[in-house]
Each structure stands twice: as structure tokens, then as C-alpha cells.
A and B are shown apart, each in its own frame.
Chain A
């Protein structure tokens, strides 16, 4: 079965550079979520999109922005990178069958290292 695809899988950037992470949801899934997981930490919700509109926002820095495109893929843009942005970034997708029931399917993550 098709899974969530994230690219790139690994990314190394220097401080103050920009990075773009991409997420391709499972076909027919209309909701995309982004999570950040720092070393030894639990995943933290960043932002989500439903039908190409932002649906919720978590602890996402102002330096980050994201969008969902007409084909439902999503991109997380990160600017002025800081050492503390080094983390695993997960994308998850879901189809909206109704509140509380649709499980999220997570991608393998992008490991971002800022040096």
C-alpha cells in the first residue's frame, strides 16, 4: 500500500540558510500534518492543512511557513535556520471521515541537521 513520502530524507544546512521539506500524502488523503521531533523528545505538532487550507497551528516559529498544494502535497519552508532547528520532521496524512476516527499515517521523516 502507498505510504506517505517525504523528501529529502536527510538534509544538512548551515545556520541562517533556508530549507524546504516536502510531503506527499497517501492518495485520497485530504489532511496533512507537520510535526517536529528534537533529539530525545516527543513529536510536537507544528501545523496542519485540510483541503489546502490551514486548519490548525501549533508551536511553529514565525521563520517557518507551510502550504498545501492543489495535488495535496505539502511543503514546509524554514528560513534563517538555527542550531535548535536540528530535528526529525514528520509529515502525516489522514482522510477526513469524521471527527476522532481517522488515524494519521506518518511518513519516515526528514532529518534536518543545522551546523
Chain B
């Protein structure tokens, strides 16, 4: 399974945009890029996913590099409720997610 690399932690001020990077240099052509987040003591929550084009939904935006070797999850205005561990996962339909270490996002009031 292809691997992802994320920074261990990041900080952001409340109501400012946050850019969470993910490197996936060994991504294959059929791998989708999925993002999840996990709040303390809760199950992971789906955020967004994409294949090649940038994607937007009500929670976030996903910017995918042209060579697909990296992507960035963008939270447009961070709130205290966005403090969580964010996971970038490559999914090729093999029925399972391989979670990496994720990025722990701290939002400062």
C-alpha cells in the first residue's frame, strides 16, 4: 500500500485559514486521496476526497498537485471545533484504510 507523510503537528489561529500538507510520492494512478479527521475519543470522520482535480465541500477544500505526489487540505476558517488529528489516506478500493500518523491540529483562540 502506498504511504503518506504528514507533519506531526500544526497550529493555527482561530478564524484563519489552515493548510495541511500531505506527501504521497508513491501514489498510483488508481489511488484516491481521502482525508479524515478524528476528534478526541471519537471515531474518524470523513472530510473530503479526490482523484486528480481540486475538490470543495462544505467542510474543506482539497488541492491536489498536478503530479499527484502531494495534496493539501484547506480549512478556510479554523474554529476551535476543528482541533483534531487529520489523516491523509490513499485508497485504491482494496477495502481497507491504512492510517498514517496524521497531523495533530491545534487551534488557538
Give A residues with C-beta under 8 Å from B. 4, 31, 33, 35, 42-45, 48, 50, 55-56, 58, 88, 90, 92, 98-101, 103-109
Contact = CB atoms under 8 A, between A and B. Distances in A.
B43 A90 contact: yes
A48 B97 CA distance: 10
A111 B76 CA distance: 33
Given A42-B87, A42-B100, A42-B102, A103 B46 contact: yes
Query: Which 6 residue pairs across A and B have the least CB separation, nearest first?
Result: A99-B93, A106-B43, A100-B32, A56-B95, A103-B46, A45-B96
A49 to B, nearest CB: 9
Identify whether the interface residues of B are mostly helix, strand, loop, or mixed: loop
Interface residues of B, number: 26
Given A42-B87, A100-B51, A101-B49, A56 B43 contact: no
Contacts of A88: 41
25 contacts: A35-B97, A35-B99, A42-B102, A43-B38, A45-B97, A45-B98, A48-B96, A56-B94, A56-B95, A58-B96, A90-B44, A92-B43, A98-B93, A99-B92, A100-B31, A100-B32, A100-B91, A101-B32, A104-B44, A105-B46, A106-B43, A106-B44, A108-B43, A109-B42, A109-B43
Highest count of chain B CB atoms <10 Å: which of A4, A55, A101: A101
A45 B49 CA distance: 19
Contacts of B93: 98-100
Nearest to B48: A103
Nearest to A42: B99
B87 to A, nearest CB: 7
Nearest to A90: B43
A7 to B, nearest CB: 14
Contacts of A107: 43
B42 to A, nearest CB: 7
B30 to A, nearest CB: 7
Interface in B55-105: 87, 91-102
